[in-house]
Amino acid sequence: MPPKTKRLTKKEQQARARKQVLDKVNGVTDFLVEFAPFSTYDTNDGVYQVRSLRAANLTENEKTQIVELFCANMQSFYEQSSWGFDLEAKRTELFEEKARYFIVNSVPGMVDAFMHFRFFEDDGAEVAYVYELQVGPNLQRKGVGKRLMQMLELISTKYKLKWIVLTVFKANESAMQFYTKKMGFEIDDTSPSQHDNTEESYEILSKQLM
């Protein structure tokens, strides 16, 4: 009797390949071990440290500052949107197990800017999803946002993710400018505006990698 082998279908092979990509990138705790030159960022008014860590490794003080910075930058956008502002839901989301962070600080323990991102499968592709990019008001327009986006893009390309995806409020014109004019993002096919839904207060933006 011939040996019984279970050949994987093409779909199964693709699903397995996607899982391998995601397991690998999600297994890394600190991306700056491999990308050490990105551990500092020089601006005209000083040198900032950049760290890469999981939400579970944030201190309580850092979590408090993350929530405060999020509120300072975003509360009014949420309040004006159809989503409304639900701080408890946001706090839960910010510190879920899968949340990954870049933290930027001038002094250890401070949070002057942060990015919250995650890696997962979205619409059949491996993606890096930017949940938050928040630069403190005093640090904006000094290249920090661009730097953090470039870091995520570099890491995502190295680990063979296919897209970077994010959501932005239409009313947030400066962020829209930053992503579409400077960082090369486009309105994603899945964005409500691409499906005759102009009522929604947000767009989904994406950038294809490789």
Binding site for ligand COA (CB under 6 A): 73, 133-135, 140-146, 168, 172, 174-175, 177-178, 182
At its nearest, how many Å lie between ligand COA and the CB of residue 7? 44
Residue 147 or 162: the one with the smaller Cβ distance to ligand COA is 147
- Terminal CA-to-CA distance of the chain, rounded, Å? 46
Shortest Cβ 115–ligand COA spacing (Å): 9
Least distance to ligand COA from the beta carbon of 59, Å? 22
Smallest distance, Å, CB 82 to ligand COA?
16
Give 31-53 as a DSSP string.
GGGT-GGGGEEEETTEEEEEEEE
Residue closer to ligand COA, measured from CB, 12 or 45: 45
Give least dist CB 12 to ligand COA, A. Answer: 36
Q: By beta-carbon distance, which residue lies closest to ligand COA? A: 145
CA dihedral of residues 189, 192, 196, 198 (deg, nearest 10) = -140
Taking the least distance from each CB to ligand COA, the nearer of 28 and 153 is 153
The CA-CA-CA angle for residues 90, 33, 94, to 5°, reads: 5
Nearer to ligand COA, 22 or 145 (CB): 145
Those residues whose C-beta lies under 8 Å from the C-beta of residue 11, and which sit 6 or more positions away, are none
Is the separation of the CB atoms in 132 and 115 below 8 Å? yes
21 or 178: CB nearest ligand COA? 178
**Is the Cβ–Cβ distance between 123 and 75 less than 8 Å?**
no
